[in-house]
Amino acid sequence: MAELADLPAGRQARTTQNNMIYYAYAISLTRKYVYVGLTNNLKRRFSQHQTGKEKTTCPYKPFQLIYWEGFENRKLDREKEKYLKSGSEKEWLKK
């Protein structure tokens, strides 16, 4: 899997004292569907989607990571995730 620095369309946040970064991300699925989520380990989470370990996305694999952005705390990450799930942002992600 590519290094985080090599992943597309995202920004990496600087690390905090405990080196925890949270990520809002979007993956494109077949059938023109976009899944938006959040995680503290982007590589692990993407691998879970790709290998079919997530019931929600399993029938739609394979996936492409189309967006990610890092945050210093979970609250900011959750706000971004909600924003990405909004109608206008979801349409932007589909394009």
pTM: predicted TM-score of the whole model, two decimal places: 0.76
pLDDT > 50? residue 26 = yes
pLDDT > 90? residue 20 = no
pLDDT band at residue 30 using 50, 70 and 90 as cut-offs: low
pLDDT > 60? residue 58 = yes
- What is the C-alpha separation between 92 and 79, in angstroms, rounded? 17
Domain boundary assignment for the chain = 4-94
pLDDT > 90? residue 62 = no
DSSP lists the bridge partners of residue 42 as none
pLDDT attached to residue 5: 46
State the CATH architecture for 4-94. 3-Layer(aba) Sandwich (3.40)
Q: Which amino acid is at 84?
A: L
pLDDT > 50? residue 72 = yes
pLDDT attached to residue 90: 84
Phi, psi for residue 63 in degrees, rounded to 5: -120, 165
